[in-house]
Amino acid sequence: MKITVNRFVSDANSTISLIMVDGVFVCFGLEDQYQATKVAGETRIPAGTYRVGVRNVGGFDARYAVKFADIHDGMLHVLDVPGFEYILIHVGNTDADTAGCLLVGEMTDPKPGAMMIGRSVAAYRTFYPMVIAAAKAGDLTIEYIDQDRSA
């Protein structure tokens, strides 16, 4: 199974993307901005394809076990990203809610300087159950595509 994150617009603080599962649009994404030199907690991960596993420890896992008790089976964890650790897929609405992680939402406002996504919990409740079994089976990848940047 494959998640595709098609980054289509960005500004000095945020990046908005289309998130697809096996080629079908599911929701929007929001991440930090592109930076040639990584700034901890303020830089999106590089374009490329990575494995997605499940993280069953840490604060996010504990909170989501309560908040999403009916569906939670560990945090979706993007693995083996050079120079990055603990990249998760979770809820949130703005750049302030991410430190390099991918946020999901049902709607977006790509206005430069005020980018955001909305209805994040609803999007997570749709997206997460679609992919968690594949992540647990070791059969989930995620590809980040930078269509927001000129070659």
Q: What is the pLDDT of residues 33-66, one digit of tens each?
A: 999 899 988 999 999 999 999 999 999 999 999 9
- Whether 4 and 28 have beta carbons less than 8 Å apart is answered as no
Q: What is the pLDDT of residues 73-90, one digit of tens each?
A: 999 999 999 999 999 999
- Whether 36 and 44 have beta carbons less than 8 Å apart is answered as no
114 strand-pairing partners: none
Looking at residue 149, what is its pLDDT? 82
SS (H, E, C) 79-127: CCCCCCCCEEEECCCCHHHCCCCEEEECEEECCCCCCEEECHHHHHHHH
Helix (H, G, I), strand (E, B) or coil at 39: coil
In the numeric block, which tokens belong to residue 139?
């059969």
C-alpha to C-alpha distances, 20 to 29, 30, 99, 126, nearest whole angstrom = 10, 14, 22, 12
Give the pLDDT band of residue 20 (cuts 50, 70, 90).
very high
Nearest to 43 by CA among 3, 78, 83: 83
Nearest to 107 by CA among 97, 125, 122: 122
The structure's pTM equals: 0.95
Task: Report the C-alpha gap between 57 and 125 in whole angstroms.
Answer: 20
- Whether 18 and 29 have beta carbons less than 8 Å apart is answered as yes
